[in-house]
A and B are shown apart, each in its own frame.
Chain A
Amino acid sequence: MTRQEILTELKKVLSPYTLEKDALANIDESTNLITDLKINSANLVDIIIDAESKYNIEIDYDSADKMVNVGGCIDVIEEKTNQQI
């Protein structure tokens, strides 16, 4: 998967957790999940769990800490899915 493909899929994962639909449509790697998308910080855990089941990966504490912006989420998903191959 390219980073762009992951970003497109990530939008679907984030969608249930944000009301900022315009901001979501225009996300890039620097978009912050909490300040830009106004996601409840406790829902980051649900986003991690949804991403795990979508990509069949396991995300640990250290990786979860990086998932504050879209670029960080893509880094983690890219790294974990590559480990499977």
Chain B
Amino acid sequence: MNNHILNHLPYKSTFRFIDNITSLNENGVTGDFTLKQDAFFYEDHFEGNPVTPGVIITEIMAQIGLVVLGIFLIMKEPGKDISTDPALYPVLTSTDVSFYKMVLPGQKVTVISKKQYFRFGKLKCTVEMLNSSKEIVARGTFAGIIKHIDLK
């Protein structure tokens, strides 16, 4: 039901880290992603011993916890429609994350994000990632904006 918002995400193929949105409202979002066994970063991180890089964990948390909620909130504002402005991009402005457990290829992770505030176009959230045993994998604070960027 909430997955229609995934159509508005600018990320494609190897850099899209969201499978499902299971809950989405003005105060927060919950979603999940299963790490692909053949994801590009496992070959070299680390050779013969694949582990999900912290920077990818951070990206998964940002895409589900910040970008999905940010697009949802912006589309609720009158006159804003991200689908008619192809130059709108999400911009990460700060993160502060602690990591507690490794994530291995094939594992499913769930991201739970709670809004701290959405003001002047900036969204700040407290974001947690859990593994399929409901253990905390990572926890942190994320902030970002959605901005008009002409890349050409």
Contacts and interface: CB of A to CB of B under 8 A. Distances in A.
Q: How large is the interface on B (under 10, 10 to 19, 20 to 34, 35 or more residues)?
A: 10 to 19
Given A40-B93, A42-B144, A64-B120, 5 more contacts: A40-B94, A43-B94, A48-B119, A48-B120, A49-B117
B122 interface: yes
A49 B119 contact: yes
Interface of B: 93-94, 117, 119-120, 122, 124, 143-145
A49 B123 CA distance: 13
Contacts of A48: 119-120
A46 B97 CA distance: 18
Contacts of B120: 44-45, 48, 61, 64
Contacts of B93: 40, 42-43
Contacts of A45: 119-120, 122
B119 to A, nearest CB: 6
Interface string A28-56: 00000000000010111110110000000
A63 B143 CA distance: 22
21 contacts: A40-B93, A40-B94, A42-B93, A42-B94, A42-B122, A42-B143, A42-B144, A42-B145, A43-B93, A43-B94, A44-B120, A45-B119, A45-B120, A45-B122, A46-B124, A48-B119, A48-B120, A49-B117, A49-B119, A61-B120, A64-B120
